Amino acid sequence: MKRSISLLVLTLAVISFAVGTISAQNGTSFSDPSVDYTFELPDAKWKMTVKPSAANPNVEFVYVDRLDGHLEVRKQAVSRNTLMSDVIKDEEQKLQFRPGFVAGKEENFVGKLNGSIFNYEFVRAGRPMSGRVYFLRSGDSVYILRFTGFTDKLRSIRHQTDSIARTFAVR
């Protein structure tokens, strides 16, 4: 009798853990008629702070607090002949004036759209910050997903930033 109760409790614990894990992975989809792209937010903690409109097609999200994780999505028109490394260099030139800026490495990225990732570090209010920028190409456009946050916080949600970029698609 004791053994069957223990087995039942263990089974219920495993089932509740599995259901909790599955529901935690169920995020929400972002799509808006003002923009031509969609992506999945893996966690309900991502909240929209800037809604796209016809006049301003940019969108921004915050993960819990702006310093924990901040996402900006921008679309940049480029010619088909433009190299992704040139787009990244342009972005790096804008970022180099942040206090304590240190450029990181570039990585290739594969998702629904292929592209590159540029990592960097900087300082804000005496605290170490990081940036992770995804450059995703679709024809003559590059979609730029800029993630910033405290270095330790951004590192802890890296699987989420990768997931958002992996699910990013053009309609």
Can you list the domains of the chain with their CATH numbers?
27-170 (3.40.1000.10)
Strand, helix or coil for residue 82? coil
Neighbouring C-beta atoms of residue 69, cutoff 10 Å: 25
Question: Which is higher by pLDDT, 17 or 139?
Answer: 139
**Per-residue CA distances from 101 to 26, 120, 171 (Å):** 35, 7, 35
Residue 1: per-residue pLDDT: 58
Residues with Cβ within 8 Å of 112's Cβ and at least 6 positions away in sequence, in order, are 166, 167, 168, 169
From the number of C-beta atoms within 10 Å of its C-beta (0-12, 13-18, 19+), residue 15 rates as exposed
Kindly report the number of other CB atoms within 10 A of residue 119's CB atom. Answer: 16
User: How many other C-beta atoms lie within 10 A of the C-beta of residue 115?
Assistant: 24
| Secondary structure letter of residue 36 according to DSSP | S
Q: Yes or no: say if 168 and 145 are a contact pair by the CB < 8 Å rule.
A: yes
User: Is this model's pTM higher than 0.95 or not?
Assistant: no
Question: At residue 15, does pLDDT exceed 50?
Answer: no
Q: Tell me: the pLDDT tens digits for 119-149?
A: 999 999 899 999 999 999 999 999 999 999 9
Q: Give per-residue pLDDT as tens, 99-108.
A: 999 999 999 9
Tens of pLDDT along 22-70? 334 457 999 999 999 999 999 999 999 999 998 999 999 999 999 999 9
